[in-house]
Amino acid sequence: MLITLKQAAQKIQAANKILVTAHILPDGDAVGSTLAMLQILRAMGKTAEIFIDDTIRDNLHALPHFDEIRRPVKGEKFDADLLLILDTEPGRIGNVRNLTDAPILNIDHHVTNSGEGYDLYLEHEAAATCEIVFDFARELGAEITLDVAKCIYTGIATDTGFFQYSNTRAKTLRTVSELVTCGVRPNEISEQMEKKSLAEVRDMRNALESARIFFGGKVAGIFVKTAESTEGFVDLVRVIEGVEIAFMINEKEENFCRVSMRSNGIDVATIANSLGGGGHVRAAGCTLKTSLEDATKITVEAIGKALHVENLSDAGILLADVN
């Protein structure tokens, strides 16, 4: 059920022991929003802990209180009176769902979040869940300390591609302006976030070599097989002139492919949703439990349908072979 920010704030105020979580495959917004919320809740005198059921990429480890994030152990229980889910729907939190039967409060900005069966404060125009967390801090009367500001800034910066994507709105910039006033140094966070390991840069080179063009150049895809972070890989082909939808398929394990899609305005959330995933209009994803070859077929066909392409069976041309 959709609720207002005020109602959501009241639910937080009424709770004492709060389990905070975010989505698997956590990104800067998932980690930033949970860490900011943890500090806000504790400053209000609440008991709060973070559980996230996944590994978290190295760039985010320097965030304040990062070391307190725990991963649930199978069969573990956590005594809570509120399960606060940030930046995703309850179906994408892995085993955290089994830690407690406490009522759910969900705060999110994903347009595909239905809110069916749980309390949801959804603001899909918000650039990041962190942008909403800033408003909650205000509503709850919590101080934005430098540590809270760093976490919120990181989530907003990473979800907007450092203020380049269309989700960047005037309010986003007003919010980050306040965070910078609190002492956040944008250059320091950018440097921290863009660092990549040698292995990641090599994966990026291989990804670029794998790039294929479909449907006469309207669609571009890259293909990787890695357990390393693939942050930013899909952008390598998103920028090609004429490309309306870019996608990346990462075969993380045999028959387990993660698909990321990006567009310049065409609704990829609906495409991802039709394949069991979700996301935003211009950035969405899904998991396909098939081989890389089948995942490619399924993804290209679904994208082709959305673009009303007549001949959907396009195997693509290697970018290297395009004149």
Binding site for ligand 5GP (CB under 6 A): 23, 25, 88, 92, 110, 112, 260, 277-280, 283-287
List own/partner pairs for 129-132 with CB under 8 A and 24 or more apart: 129/22, 129/29, 129/30, 129/33, 129/86, 129/87, 129/155, 129/159, 130/29, 130/32, 130/33, 130/36, 130/154, 130/155, 130/156, 130/159, 131/155, 131/156, 131/171, 131/172, 131/175, 132/5, 132/33, 132/107
Taking the chain, what is the end-to-end CA distance rounded to the nearest angstrom?
A: 52
Q: Which does 283 bind (CB under 5 to 8 A by kind): ligand 5GP, Mn ion, none?
A: ligand 5GP
The label of the residue with tokens 């989700």 reads 167
With CB atoms as reference, the residue minimizing the distance to Mn ion is 29
Judged by DSSP in three states, 27 sits in coil
Judged by CB under 5 A, the residue of 49, 87, 89, 244 near Mn ion is 87
Q: Do the strands 317-318 and 278-279 form a parallel or antiparallel pair, or are they unpaired?
A: unpaired
Cβ of residue 29: shortest distance to ligand 5GP, in angstroms? 8
A 10 A CB-CB count for 75 gives 8
Stretch that binds Mn ion, among 58-66, 116-124, 129-137, 313-321 (CB under 5 A): 129-137
Which one, 33 or 296, has the nearer CB to Mn ion?
A: 33
- Rounded to whole angstroms, how far apart are CA atoms 181 and 86? 25
Using the structure block, give the residue that is written with the tokens 């939808």. 245
Q: Which is nearer to ligand 5GP, 9 or 284 (CB)?
A: 284
Binding-residue pattern over the window 10 to 49 for Mn ion, x denoting contact by CB under 5 A: -------------------x--------------------
Q: Which does 282 bind (CB under 5 to 8 A by kind): ligand 5GP, Mn ion, none?
A: none
Least Å from the CB of residue 88 to ligand 5GP: 6
Q: Does 244 bind Mn ion (CB under 5 A)?
A: no
Least distance (Å) between residue 32 CB and Mn ion: 9
To which residue do tokens 């140094």 refer?
185
Binding mask 132-171 for Mn ion (x = CB under 5 A): ---------------------------x------------
Task: Summarize as ranges the residues that interact with Mn ion (CB under 5 A).
Answer: 29, 87, 128-129, 159
